Amino acid sequence: MKMLLLLLACFPALARADFAWSYKCGQDSVCQRVPLADTNGEYIPLPKCRLACKAGGTLWPFPTGEVRIGSEVVSVNVGDFSIEAARTTRLQEAVAVFKNHFKSFTAPGEAQVKVQFQISDESSDLSLATDESYRLWIQTHNGNSIVVITALTFQGGRHGLETLSQLIQCEDQSCYMSAEVLISDAPKYPWRGVLLDTSRNYFTVPTIKKVIDGLSASKLNTFHWHITDTHSFPFYSKRRPKMTEWGAYSPEQIYTEEDIKDIVHYADVRGVRVLPELDAPAHSGNGYQWGEEEGLGKLAVCVNRDPWEKYCVEPPCGQMNLANPNLYDVVEDIYRDMLDTFTGSAFHIGGDEVNFNCWNTTKEVTDYMDGKNIPRTEEGFMELWNEYQEEALARFKKANGGKLKDMILWTSHMTEPEFLHYLDPSIYTVQYWESSTNKQLPNLVKKGFQVIMSNYDDLYLDCGFGAWVGEGNNWCSPYKGWQKIYMNDPKKYLAAQGVTDPALWSKIVGGETAMWTEQAGDQNAMTKIFPRSYALAERYWSDPATGWFEAEPRLVYFNSVMEKQRGIFGNTLKPEWCVQSQGICKLNKF
Amino acid sequence: MKMLLLLLACFPALARADFAWSYKCGQDSVCQRVPLADTNGEYIPLPKCRLACKAGGTLWPFPTGEVRIGSEVVSVNVGDFSIEAARTTRLQEAVAVFKNHFKSFTAPGEAQVKVQFQISDESSDLSLATDESYRLWIQTHNGNSIVVITALTFQGGRHGLETLSQLIQCEDQSCYMSAEVLISDAPKYPWRGVLLDTSRNYFTVPTIKKVIDGLSASKLNTFHWHITDTHSFPFYSKRRPKMTEWGAYSPEQIYTEEDIKDIVHYADVRGVRVLPELDAPAHSGNGYQWGEEEGLGKLAVCVNRDPWEKYCVEPPCGQMNLANPNLYDVVEDIYRDMLDTFTGSAFHIGGDEVNFNCWNTTKEVTDYMDGKNIPRTEEGFMELWNEYQEEALARFKKANGGKLKDMILWTSHMTEPEFLHYLDPSIYTVQYWESSTNKQLPNLVKKGFQVIMSNYDDLYLDCGFGAWVGEGNNWCSPYKGWQKIYMNDPKKYLAAQGVTDPALWSKIVGGETAMWTEQAGDQNAMTKIFPRSYALAERYWSDPATGWFEAEPRLVYFNSVMEKQRGIFGNTLKPEWCVQSQGICKLNKF
């Protein structure tokens, strides 16, 4: 013990005051918390140990190509990085975002760092065809580090920058960087996202940006904005301002054109597309009540009708009035306003949970059907619904200068095998929210549809809380832990239903977790979205051959870095002891 | 429509810009969101409607005595209240807290408001015997409102002030107050609290204060601070500073003497006691590793031992070394330090989840047992454990100047019928965390123990998330919704096990929800603690004869007020549409 005290006395600058621990690379390349005596009295910070101990132990999602990371670590000051001027303001902004992540770590570094970009197209759009691959190369010589990021597109280059930021780990004032790195990387699926519902509860712009921060940090590329629903209509339509006057929860709970442009831009420089959704013809109600007052007739029916159980899946009810031809002018104007602000290559046209009894109990609709000799049978209501689907699509095309985008549609009665003929697979990509074992999944890929996985039994982030109507727990309980999300492999689900042809597997273009917000609001949704959506990020970027058990130490560490360095506060995965004592908080087999 | 426009033109100041809705008292005394035309173009804010529409609709927990609230509502400015000077700084501080809640609502009020206190003992301690009753009287005449709060104790008077704040509801800049009120109120149970575990993850002082804010607002009176556990020891002991040097997660994650005094004072002026817990002899480990270095021998054994499954219930393991007599000097010093700062009338001495195999596989302990001829059987280990329990109690008494406090102990093997003889019901109050159907419950009350309910199957706030060790969901899944907590009636559970004597029911002194923090941290625990702990507040204050269904509209509204007026962000219970459309988001029977 005298020896230890002596050592501490010799290295006072290296020990952390009033702290008996250090970190050391132990067996299985795991950082272990050890008494200072075990590191000769020198305090080695956990971030430094993590970088040096296991190649790639700080990366999330894990790269899919070559990963060569040496154990040498140099201290750096990111503020002093010399970053070769990018050609576009877009890349310059991405670089500013990168630097900003490290702004609170101001200690001087040992290494002089130069970063160079070799990006073919800094103005690339993000679509299903975008090449998001990149190559990251770091070499250090005599205290000079060179970082080279090579990519075909802006999105790829930005991912490279994100990986670089994961190879820089910080504590207190200091940052450490891996000195020798070669990584080549590309995602396995082109569509990786999170849905946020801002209709059931309203989310402020800063919170939406925080969600985008989390997407960006884990290389998710899609913020699916379920911006309207029956509950409220916060999207400000400049052509139809009555929509928010009647549909917003208050005059303050509105997304203006300026807000949306701000968010779309914020996402773009972070490699994220914003996918707008106008859900229809169901999930529409509040906001549409002004039609009669303005002489356009009823735009929606069953709005807020009670007992709701008869006319919709949850209160409040509401469905578009397909008997009113004026409806389409309104929808077209909303499309126009959305297209003015949401500039991405895809659009979500809604399409879930149509309730036939609402229409069947609304005289205006039944008169319309009778007048057109549409029978009031299941087939008849499908015909009516399809009339909406076709006209809405035509209006969208008209509003978009005669072109469609990548049109996305929920699974529904219309995507069941017997009614799927209404839909054209060259037009629609289907977002699949049925259970992983439902027969729709194999049928959709066999019929040629591209599919985005959001099967509720793995990917719905709202499940497992108390019921919000009635007692017990909510409909899709239990809670979906990150492990379940991590194991959401669509190939496995297709194979279980007999689809083993890789060409059909490739119809799955990606996945999204879904944050429905009956029970989530501005101040608590982050804890439900993250770190679970990080699990999705690795599933659809890396398509890992190993399971959650192998990934856990990396995720636990990554989540703690997101908290400490980025201020992204998701749920807590473990006691902090487990973050500090890597790999011990697990089940043992003995 | 012309008529409406005309009306709007006549009352331009009363309508809310760009908002088509107002609120109106409808059938069943429910506030309904209605088009402005239904209120003649006048915008009536929801808070004003809520106050006027249903007597007590804004109160939580609901009073147990007389409740007379008139429908007249006056606008007020709380900053202008003339509040008769209290005799003590304690009550003056409570008044400042009250005023501070309304500081952002600055519109002038119609009524001049005078508040008077009639409190017998402004210096009262909070114990199980404290009278927390109060009487609140408001009368308004010619634009002058008189508020009188009568109570025997500071705590009662403060509750009266809290009820007054619930009868003042605000929106935008303006506040409204019920003009005619008579409420007499007292809690049905004296112990109503929330446990927060700051060992598994560390919580900052501002977050702890926010938790106390939520307690205070709902008349919960106990902040149970589970300040240490095996994982970390953040309590700074000035007599034994090595405890945090080895036990804190970092030098910054420590509660200093100053922090604790600040929190205890903060809680006191808000009517809340802080109950400290030193869990022992299990749930002890990290922090105790310095004994050998200082020549005191091992203070704890099995610390961080793996495979943990053999030696404890969750990683990391650790248990006190009962073979080492020096242990008791350390424990006594920690007690002394705790007693210096935690000045309340109760103390929690721990006592849960002792693992015999840890001791049985530790030579030092088995040698000690052999030396004293204690058999290595269940009975022998119980004898060993009891040796700790008796000596710890003696040291506590010594540290506290020869007196005990209200000593609280977890249920455990020692509180099972066959070993309960070790414990004296005149000394120990038992905190019951077994399931609601366990046989310990009736036995404890029959044997004369006071009991605090924390049965995990209703009151554990950590249940229902993904497992943190292994896959699937965590051990006490599913999630306990607020409805379940609201229905946590100990009389019902006792009766189900044949205990129907009200004298035995009265042994239950209250209840606590428990926020164990394996999976909760500084930035997300609030969303798990509230609003569910508000449900506990009404259960143990009001002991309601009706169930959660009747309480729901009040709770939903109260939670939204806590968010908007107090910045207490718990989980979201419903879409905001349901907050605005009272009583519609429920199951219908038809």
Full pLDDT tens readout for chain B, 590 residues: 344 333 333 333 456 788 999 999 988 889 999 999 999 999 999 999 999 999 999 999 999 999 999 999 999 999 999 998 788 999 999 999 999 999 999 999 999 999 999 999 999 999 999 999 999 999 999 999 999 999 999 999 999 999 999 999 999 999 999 999 999 999 999 999 999 999 999 999 999 999 999 999 999 999 999 999 999 999 999 999 999 999 999 999 999 999 999 999 999 999 999 999 999 999 999 999 999 999 999 999 999 999 999 999 999 999 999 999 999 999 999 999 999 999 999 999 999 999 999 999 999 999 999 999 999 999 999 999 999 999 999 999 999 999 999 999 999 999 999 999 999 999 999 999 999 999 999 999 999 999 999 999 999 999 999 999 999 999 999 999 999 999 999 999 999 999 999 999 999 999 999 999 999 999 999 999 999 999 999 999 999 999 999 999 999 999 999 999 999 999 999 999 999 998 889 999 76
Q: Is B277 a catalytic residue?
A: no
Distance CA B567, CA B213 (A): 9
Choice between A484 and B30, residue whose per-residue pLDDT is larger? A484
| Contact at CB, A200 and B465, closer than 8 angstroms | no
Find the angle CA(B461)-CA(B463)-CA(B467) to the nearest 5 degrees: 140
Closest chain B C-alpha to A395 CA, distance in angstroms:
28
Q: Report the SS3 class of residue B334.
A: helix
CA dist B407 → B276, B449, B513 (Å): 11, 11, 19
Tell me the pairing of strands B144-153 and B134-141: antiparallel
* 8 A C-beta contact, residue B137 and residue B147: yes
Phi, psi of A522, deg, nearest 5 = -50, -35
Count of alpha carbons within 13 Å of A217, Cβ hemisphere only?
27
Q: What is the structure's pLDDT at B85?
A: 77
Please compute the mean of the pLDDT values over residues A544-548 and round it to a whole number: 97
Distance CA A419, CA A386 (A): 10
Distance CA B356, CA B492 (A): 34
Burial A431-443 (b: 16+ CB within 10 A, else e): bbbbebebebbbb
Going by C-beta distance under 8 Å and a sequence separation of 6 or more, which residues neighbour residue A301? A318, A319, A320, A321, A358, A359, A362, A364, A365
Q: Which of B132, B185, B229, B406 is catalytic?
A: B229
Q: Is B229 a catalytic residue?
A: yes
Q: Which of B110, B353, B383, B522 is catalytic?
A: B353
Distance CA A353, CA A198 (A): 18
Closest chain B C-alpha to A483 CA, distance in angstroms:
7
Distance CA B417, CA B430 (A): 13
Kindly report, residue by residue over A72-108, the tens digit of the pLDDT. Answer: 999 999 999 999 878 899 999 999 999 999 999 999 9
CA dist B411 → A76, B230, B282 (Å): 53, 18, 13
Please compute the mean of the pLDDT values over residues A480-506 and round it to a whole number: 98
Task: Quote ipTM for the complex.
Answer: 0.95
CATH superfamily for B45-185 is Chitobiase/beta-hexosaminidase domain 2-like (3.30.379.10)
Choice between B86 and A178, residue whose per-residue pLDDT is larger? A178
Q: Which residue of A has its CA nearest to B563?
A: A523
- Tell me which chain B residues have a C-beta less than 8 angstroms from the C-beta of A571: 465, 519-520, 524
Distance CA A137, CA A180 (A): 8
* 8 A C-beta contact, residue B510 and residue B540: yes
Q: What is the structure's pLDDT at A590?
A: 65
Q: Please report where in the chains the tokens 């929210």 appear, as a residue.
A: A433
- Tell me which chain B residues have a C-beta less than 8 angstroms from the C-beta of A231: 575-577
Distance CA A192, CA A342 (A): 18
Distance CA B365, CA B385 (A): 12
Mean pLDDT of chain A: 95
Tell me the pairing of strands B174-178 and A406-410: unpaired
| Contact at CB, A588 and B309, closer than 8 angstroms | yes
Phi, psi of B257, deg, nearest 5 = -55, -40
Q: What is the 3-state secondary structure (H, E, C) of B413-434?
A: HHHCCCCHHHCCCCCEEEEECC
Please compute the mean of the pLDDT values over residues A465-481 and round it to a whole number: 96
Distance CA B222, CA B533 (A): 12
Token pair of B26 as six digits: 């409808």
Distance CA B234, CA B240 (A): 12
- Tell me which chain B residues have a C-beta less than 8 angstroms from the C-beta of A465: 464, 479, 481, 571
> Minimal CA–CA distance to B445: which of B488, B490, B406?
B490
| Contact at CB, A518 and B574, closer than 8 angstroms | yes
DSSP string covering A369-392, please? Answer: HHHTT--SSHHHHHHHHHHHHHHH
Distance CA A331, CA A391 (A): 10
* Identity at B401, one-letter amino acid code: G
Q: Which of B185, B283, B332, B337 is catalytic?
A: B283
Closest chain A C-alpha to B226 CA, distance in angstroms:
14
Q: What is the structure's pLDDT at B46?
A: 95
Distance CA B369, CA B349 (A): 24
> Minimal CA–CA distance to B130: which of B95, B150, B157?
B157
Q: What is the 3-state secondary structure (H, E, C) of B303-329?
A: CCCCCHHHCCCCCCCCEECCCCCHHHH
- What is the maximum alpha-carbon separation in chain A? 98
- What is the maximum alpha-carbon separation in chain B? 98
| Contact at CB, A464 and B464, closer than 8 angstroms | yes
Q: What is the structure's pLDDT at A9?
A: 37
Q: Which residue of B has its CA nearest to A532?
A: B466
* Identity at A265, one-letter amino acid code: H
* 8 A C-beta contact, residue B136 and residue B67: no
Kindly report, residue by residue over A254-265, the tens digit of the pLDDT. Answer: 999 999 999 999
Q: What is the structure's pLDDT at B535?
A: 98
Q: Please report where in the chains the tokens 């709701």 appear, as a residue.
A: A308
Distance CA B465, CA B485 (A): 17
B292-299: which pairs have CB atoms within 8 A and are 24 or more residues apart?
Answer: B293/A1, B293/A4, B294/B242, B296/B324, B296/B326, B296/B329, B296/B330, B297/B321, B297/B324, B297/B326, B298/B324, B298/B364, B299/B324, B299/B326, B299/B327, B299/B330
| Contact at CB, A577 and B307, closer than 8 angstroms | no
Q: Using CB atoms, pick whichever of A465, A527, A548 lies closest to residue B479.
A: A465
In what helix (H) or strand (E) does residue B262 lie, and over which residues does it extend? helix B257-268
- Tell me which chain B residues have a C-beta less than 8 angstroms from the C-beta of A572: 201, 517-521, 524
Q: What is the structure's pLDDT at A235?
A: 98
Q: Using CB atoms, pick whichever of B246, B473, B575 lies closest to residue A481.
A: B473
| Contact at CB, B315 and A18, closer than 8 angstroms | no
Q: Report the SS3 class of residue A134.
A: strand
Find the angle CA(A90)-CA(A96)-CA(A97) to the nearest 5 degrees: 90
- Residue A7 pLDDT greater than 50, yes or no: no
| Contact at CB, A20 and B249, closer than 8 angstroms | no
- Tell me which chain B residues have a C-beta less than 8 angstroms from the C-beta of A307: 588, 590
Q: Using CB atoms, pick whichever of B201, B549, B586 lies closest to residue A575.
A: B201
In what helix (H) or strand (E) does residue B580 lie, and over which residues does it extend? helix B576-580
CA dist B369 → B297, B382, B385 (Å): 17, 12, 11
Q: What is the structure's pLDDT at B15?
A: 66
> Minimal CA–CA distance to A20: which of B333, B251, B318?
B251
- Tell me which chain A residues have a C-beta less than 8 angstroms from the C-beta of B576: 200-202, 231-232, 249, 253
User: Cα B168 from chain centroid?
Assistant: 24
| Contact at CB, A572 and B519, closer than 8 angstroms | yes
- Parse chain B into domains and list their residue ranges: 45-185
Which residues of A are the active-site residues? 229, 283, 353
- Tell me which chain A residues have a C-beta less than 8 angstroms from the C-beta of B483: 466-467, 471-472
Q: How many CB atoms lie within 10 A of CB B315?
A: 28
- Tell me which chain B residues have a C-beta less than 8 angstroms from the C-beta of A312: none
| Contact at CB, B231 and A19, closer than 8 angstroms | no
| Contact at CB, A464 and B467, closer than 8 angstroms | no
Token pair of B501 as six digits: 């004597």
* 8 A C-beta contact, residue B114 and residue B84: yes
CA dist B393 → B342, B389, B562 (Å): 17, 6, 41
